[in-house]
Amino acid sequence: MVKYIFLSIRLIIVFVIIVNLVSCGAVIGRVVISKPDEYSHLYEANEKIILKAIARVFKEKNIGSNVTIDQKNHRVDSDYVVSGDWRTKASARVQRLNWKECEVVLAVTTEKKTETGWEIRRLLQKEQYDSFFSVIDLKIYEEMSRIE
């Protein structure tokens, strides 16, 4: 009897989670925006190391193809990766703020193909950008530990 009570409670919890996910899924990618969202984060490292770390994250996460580092302008850019009716690219700018801090501004552009052309859509939220910044932080430490 107790076994069936726990089983029914688990089923109810699973049902609530599924309903919650389905209700959130309808909103993702439907918001059309005029320009991609940009989020920033501060790091305590050299611009060169930060640029290499960002490029590695772009390549590993397959955010864009043909990832290029522009040392002169302190940028990392990628070309579009097309998947069905969607395409995605990323760009990041690094700016030295003082002797120990650099600001990274990250923008991931996601576009959906429509009858009128490509429309920029909001696919990533602040939490996903924070996750990217955490991965970049780890890659910075990996780059700092490499022997050149």
Q: What is the pLDDT of residues 90-135, one digit of tens each?
A: 999 999 999 999 999 999 999 999 999 999 999 899 999 999 999 9
pLDDT at 39 over 50: yes
Where does the pLDDT of residue 148 fall: very low under 50, low under 70, confident under 90, or very high at 90 and above? low
Q: Please state which of the ranges 31-35, 44-48, 134-138 shows the lowest mean pLDDT.
A: 31-35
Half-sphere exposure of 74 (CA within 13 A, CB side): 15
Residue 92 structure tokens: 């990041």
pLDDT of residue 49: 95
pLDDT of residue 30: 75
pLDDT of residue 116: 92
Instruction: Tell me what the mean pLDDT of segment 13-35 comes to.
Output: 57
Give this prediction's pTM: 0.78
Q: What number of other Cβ atoms are within 10 A of residue 46's Cβ? A: 15
pLDDT of residue 24: 46
Length of the chain: 148
Residue 44 structure tokens: 């305590």
Closest C-alpha among 134, 81, 83 to residue 108:
81
pLDDT of residue 55: 96
Say if residues 81 and 88 touch (Cβ distance below 8 Å).
yes
Where does the pLDDT of residue 16 fall: very low under 50, low under 70, confident under 90, or very high at 90 and above? very low
